[in-house]
Amino acid sequence: MKYKQRKKALILLADGTIFHGKSIGKEGSAFGEVCFNTGTTGYQEIFTDPSYYGQLMVTTNAHIGNYGTKEDEVESDDIKIAGLICKNFSFNYSRPAGDSSLEDFFEKHNKLAIADVDTRALVSYIRDNGAMNAVITTEIDKLESLKQQLAELPSMKGLELASKVSTKEPYFVGDEKATYKIAALDIGIKKNILRNLVKRDAYVKVFPYNAKFEELEAFNPDGYFLSNGPGDPEPLVDAQLLAKEVIAKNKPLFGICLGHQIIALANGISTYKMHNGHRGINHPVKNLITGKGEITSQNHGFAINREETEANKNVEITHVHLNDNTVAGIKVKGKNCFSVQYHPEASPGPNDSLYLFDQFIENIKNNK
Ligand SMILES: NC(=O)CC[C@H](N)C(=O)O
C-alpha cells in the first residue's frame, strides 16, 4: 500500500454545485459527463468498457478496489472512463487471483480518481437533475478557470465518440478454421462480446468505425455485428448506412447497445438522450416473444423512441425494460436482424441473456 498524504479534491457540476472528496493518487483535473453505475461488483470491467469513454463514473457500491484487479478481466486495453468518483477506495485488496491493486491500475493508466465523496448525495442530485457535465479536480484554487472550461465542454447529446475508441486497423480474433465468419464493426467493442462469438465457433474480423459495407463484405462473412460504444448514435452516419445495406441484403445482423441504436436509426426510428440512463447489473427486461424475464447488465444514456418503434411497419419490439417501459430489444420484420439495448455479454453482470449469441449463430447457420 502506497498510502500517501491524499490531496483535497472536488467535483464541480456544470450547474455550479460542488461535492468534496480526496484524490487517490494522480493530481489534476478530468472533465466528462457525470453518470452513476449501481453494480455491486465488476468495477474493472466497467472502468475498461469503451462505452463509458468521456464519462466520469460515480460508483454507488460502498467499497471500490477491495478485490483488486486482474489483467485478463478487462473489456479493452485501458481505462476508458474519464475519471472515478467513489465513497471508500480500498488501497488493499484481498483476492488470491488478483494481480494488482486498483490504485496501481489507476496509476498505470494515468487516470484520476477521487474518494471519500458523499456518493449517495451526489447520485440523488444527478438522479433528480439529470446527467450533466462535470469536472473532478485537485486544482481547487483554479475553480474560476475550471468553470469556464466546463462551460465550453460539449454536451453528450450530438457527440460522436466512436472514433476515439475504435481500432485504427482491422484485426482478427479466433481460429481461422472456425465454422462461422463474422464481420464486426468496432464502434467501441467490449472484449467479452468477441470472447462470446469465438466461443461459439466464430472467426471474427473487427473493422474500424468508419469502414464501408464493401470492406466488410470482402471478408465474405456469414454474419455482421454492430458493437456497443460511447457517445450519441445519431452522428454515426456511416454505421447507419452500413446497417441499411446489411439489412437490404438480408444478411444476419446483430447489434448491441450503440449497435442497437444504429439499427433503429437505420430504420427511421429516432433516438433521444435519457434523463439519466440505465447503468447497473440488475435491470429487469421482459422478452415479449417468450414471455420470460431476464436480469440484465445495462449501460446507456440514449434510447430509441418507443412511439416511433411501435408505429414502424418494419420493426417489432421484442424486449421491454420493466422499470420504465423503454424499448430494450427489436427485430426487423422478415429480415435476419435483431438487436438489444442491454449487454447480453455481461462482464460485469448476469448471464441470463447469453442466449442472444446463440440466436445470432442460429440465424447465421440457417442463412449459410
Ligand atoms: N453501451 C453502449 O453501447 C452505450 C450506447 C450509447 N453510447 C448510450 O449511452 O446510450
Using a 6 Å cutoff on CB, does residue 180 contact ligand 1?
no
Quote the CA–CA distance of 344 and 196 in Å, as a whole number.
10
Cα 337 to Cα 250: distance, rounded to the nearest angstrom: 8
Q: Residue 228 and residue 317: Cα distance in Å, rounded?
A: 19
237-292 tens-digit pLDDT:
999 999 999 999 999 999 999 999 999 999 999 999 999 999 999 999 999 999 99
Amino acid sitting at position 6: R
> Is the complex ipTM more than 0.90?
yes
| Residue 2 included in any domain | no
Confirm whether residue 89 is marked as ligand binding.
Answer: no
Is residue 131 within 8 Å of 155, Cβ to Cβ?
A: no
Average pLDDT over residues 97-111: 96
* Strand pairing report for 253-256 and 337-340: parallel
- Round the average pLDDT of the chain to a whole number and report it: 97
Q: Name which residue sits closest to atom 5 of ligand 1, judged by CA.
A: 258
Sign of CA dihedral 80, 82, 85, 90: positive
Q: Measure the CA angle with vertex 194, ends 65 and 265; round to 5°.
A: 100
345 is catalytic: yes
Distance of CA 327 to CAs 35, 41, 98, Å? 21, 26, 38
Average pLDDT over residues 212-233: 98
Ligand 1 center–CA 329 separation, angstroms: 14
302 is in an annotated binding site: yes
Task: Measure CA of the first residue to CA of the last residue in the chain; give whole Å.
Answer: 55
Does any ligand 1 atom lie closer than 6 A to the CB of residue 301?
yes
- In a shared domain, residues 135 and 245: no
Mark whether 137 and 166 lie in a shared domain: no
Dihedral sign computed on CA atoms, order 335, 251, 267, 191: positive
Residues 177 and 140 grouped into a single domain? no
Same domain for 104 and 194: no
Number of domains in the chain: 2
**What SS3 state is found at 217?**
helix
Given this model, what pLDDT does residue 6 score?
Answer: 86
Domain hosting residue 230, numbered range: 162-367
Tell me, rounded to whole angstroms, the distance of Cα 91 from its chain centroid. 26
The CATH number of whichever domain residue 187 belongs to comes to 3.40.50.880
Q: Choose, from 257, 278, 283, 294, the residue flagged as catalytic.
A: 257
Burial of 175 (0-12, 13-18, 19+ CB in 10 A): exposed
Residue to mutate (ligand 1; options 185, 299, 321, 342; most atoms within 8 A of CB): 299
Same domain, 341 and 280: yes
pTM of whole model > 0.95? Answer: yes
Same domain, 268 and 219: yes
Residue 25 has pLDDT above 90, yes or no: no
Residue spans of alpha helices (H) in 65-179: 102-108, 119-129, 143-152, 162-165
Give 34's pLDDT tier (boundaries 50, 70, 90).
very high
Write down the residue that cell numbers 454545485 correspond to: 17
The answer to whether residue 358 is domain-embedded is yes
Q: Which helix (H) or strand (E) holds 58?
A: strand 55-59
Q: What is the CATH number of the domain that holds 120?
A: 3.50.30.20
Burial class (CB in 10 A: 0-12, 13-18, 19+), 244: middle
The pLDDT of residue 82 is above 60: yes
Q: What is the mean pLDDT of residues 173-188?
A: 98
pLDDT in tens, 290-302: 999 999 999 999 9
Q: Answer yes or no: is pLDDT of 3 > 90.
A: no
